[in-house]
Amino acid sequence: MNISELVCLIYDIAVIVYDIAVIDIAVILGALFAIVPYMRAKTRERKEHIMQILSLVGSEEQRKNRKAIYSAARVGKSRAQLNHEEYTAFESVSVAFDRIGMYAHYDKEFKKIVIDVHYDVLIRSWNASQHWIEDHVADYGRRHYSFYRELVDECKRCHPDAAEITAR
């Protein structure tokens, strides 16, 4: 092999390496252009999902249900003394908050949002229905409303004024 053949071989290798680098850059750019819209769509879906879950707190039906359990708690009714409407309101509020608590358990960012925005409603509802929940847990098992309890405990840790919140 003479010098000119060696130079040609080195040149050919350099061209191949350059072509591979250009192809790699093109593939990386193509992947980025494909990933960015996907990530935006996923972020949008996640925000919509969070808003849908949080609507459980602010809906007119849930406000009416919370008002019913606050009224029943003020007069000191036991779970057995709740009428059908009050018991349905208690279960609706507790199940909704347990679902929110479950989602918050697995999504720390969502948990922070819920605690910052709705801690007072969560604690007030918990305080109003805690003895009914404890009766329910005694009858049906510890797992019932465990995410709700966990979320309320976290609210109380994050907000020192939580002890002053009562059912109105």
Q: Which two three-digit tokens encode residue 138?
A: 């005694």
- Is the CB of residue 105 less than 8 Å from the CB of residue 111? yes
Helix axes 60-74, 3-58, angle to 10 degrees: 50
Enclosing H/E stretch for 143: none
pLDDT above 60 (res 157): yes
With a pLDDT cut of 70, the percent of the chain lying above it is: 90
**Which DSSP state fits 59?**
S
The region of weakest confidence among 87-91, 118-122, 163-167 is 163-167
In the chain, domain spans: 1-54, 59-168
Where residue 98 falls among pLDDT bands split at 50, 70, 90?
very high
Distance between CA atoms of residues 31 and 117, nearest Å: 38
Closest CA to 122 of 79, 76, 77, 155: 155
Answering whether pTM is above 0.85, one says: no
| Helix intervals (H) in the chain | 3-58, 60-74, 84-106, 108-140, 146-158
Per-residue model confidence (pLDDT) at position 163: 64
Q: Alpha carbon 141 to chain centroid distance? A: 24
Per-residue model confidence (pLDDT) at position 87: 92
Per-residue model confidence (pLDDT) at position 92: 92
Per-residue model confidence (pLDDT) at position 5: 76
Per-residue model confidence (pLDDT) at position 40: 86
With a pLDDT cut of 90, the percent of the chain lying above it is: 33
Average pLDDT value over all residues in the chain:
84
Per-residue model confidence (pLDDT) at position 69: 93
Average of per-residue pLDDT across 141-147: 83
Instruction: Please work out, in degrees rounded to the nearest 5, the angle formed at the alpha carbon of residue 69 by the alpha carbons of 66 and 73.
Output: 140
State the amino acid at position 64 in one-letter form. Answer: K
Q: The dihedral of CA 58, 97, 126, 133: what is its sign? A: positive
**Per-residue model confidence as pLDDT tens digits over 10-47:** 777 776 766 677 677 777 777 777 787 888 888 888 88
Instruction: Please work out, in degrees rounded to the nearest 5, the angle formed at the alpha carbon of residue 77 by the alpha carbons of 72 and 78.
Output: 130
Where residue 168 falls among pLDDT bands split at 50, 70, 90?
low
